[in-house]
């Protein structure tokens, strides 16, 4: 359908998805491969405004269905405005979170029906699905330590505590186990070792993926 490749990183808060997105994008860019690096919720001006709303720690509790629709609205705009045009011109699109996040957080975490979550998201993205999703698996207690060390403002979902994170972590493992286009990595590795492991796996999967620099 598209000329480019669509790679998504998924994992609980603190698993390192943002760091690994940056490292993979830098590796491809250094090899002269066009890259679009983006994130969810967000990625476009309108979608970033929705991100600011849905993660606002002062917002308090909103209905779980409203939360699902907000994420889906951001994703729909993101796909139409940024992801599809980037794939059509042949870029490798690297996205920090995508549909699996909604399944994990709003489905497993919030308890919404997984069929409903999936249907809403399919309406939002149409046929724009990742070529590969990379799951960074990390024990929740290690993720909590990393988030504490990171510091900064805690977003609205992080305020909900470890119970949510544990349900989401279990959800990610179940989603990854049932997905053909998925690879799971041990996120307890150092960021450098993990980045090498990811690149080795992608190189084994795709002949076009660049070799390590000497």
Neighbour count for residue 79 (Cβ, 10 Å): 23
- The residues pairing with 133 across neighbouring beta strands, listed in sequence order, are 8, 182
Reply yes or no on whether the pLDDT at 157 is more than 90: no
Select from 198, 136, 100 the least CA-distant residue to 11.
Answer: 136
> pLDDT tens digits for 104-127?
999 999 999 999 999 999 999 999
Residue 213 pLDDT class (50, 70, 90 cuts): confident
Reply yes or no on whether the pLDDT at 156 is more than 70: no
Q: Is the pTM of this model over 0.75?
A: yes
For the chain, give the mean pLDDT.
92
Q: Which residue is listed with tokens 């992080």? A: 158
Reply yes or no on whether the pLDDT at 154 is more than 70: no
Residue 182 pLDDT class (50, 70, 90 cuts): very high
More confident: 56 or 185: 185
State percent of the chain over pLDDT 70: 93
Query: What is the mean predicted confidence (pLDDT) over 193-205?
Result: 97
Structure tokens at 18: 């943002």
Q: Which residue is listed with tokens 């919720």? A: 41
Residue 176 pLDDT class (50, 70, 90 cuts): very high
Q: Which residues contact 185 (CB under 8 A, 6 or more apart)?
A: 134, 135, 136, 137, 194, 197, 198, 201
Asked if 50 and 73 touch (Cβ cutoff 8 Å), the reply is yes
Query: What is the mean predicted confidence (pLDDT) over 50-59?
Result: 84
State percent of the chain over pLDDT 90: 80
d(Cα 88, Cα 86) in Å, to the nearest integer? 5
Angle between helices 191-205 and 17-30 (to 10 degrees): 60
Asked if 78 and 43 touch (Cβ cutoff 8 Å), the reply is yes
d(Cα 167, Cα 143) in Å, to the nearest integer? 14
pLDDT at 152: 65
């Amino acid at each position: 359908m598209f000329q480019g490749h669509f790679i998504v990183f998924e994992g609980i808060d603190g698993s390192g998805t943002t760091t690994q997105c940056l490292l993979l994008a830098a590796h491809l860019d250094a090899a002269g491969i066009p890259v679009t690096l983006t994130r969810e919720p967000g990625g476009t001006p309108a979608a970033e405004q929705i991100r600011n709303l849905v993660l606002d720690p002062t917002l308090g509790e909103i209905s779980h269905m409203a939360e699902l629709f907000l994420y889906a609205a951001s994703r729909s705009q993101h796909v139409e405005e940024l992801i599809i045009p980037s794939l059509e011109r042949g870029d490798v699109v690297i996205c920090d979170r995508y549909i699996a996040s909604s399944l994990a957080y709003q489905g497993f975490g919030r308890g919404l029906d997984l069929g409903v979550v999936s249907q809403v998201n399919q309406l939002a993205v149409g046929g724009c699905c990742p070529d590969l999703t990379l799951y960074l698996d990390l024990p929740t207690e290690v993720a909590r330590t990393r988030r504490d060390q990171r510091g900064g403002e805690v977003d609205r979902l992080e305020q909900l505590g470890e119970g949510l994170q544990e349900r989401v972590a279990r959800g990610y493992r179940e989603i990854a186990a049932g997905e053909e286009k998925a690879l799971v990595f041990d996120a307890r590795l150092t960021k450098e070792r993990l980045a090498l492991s990811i690149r080795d796996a992608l190189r084994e999967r795709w002949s076009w993926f660049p070799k390590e620099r000497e």
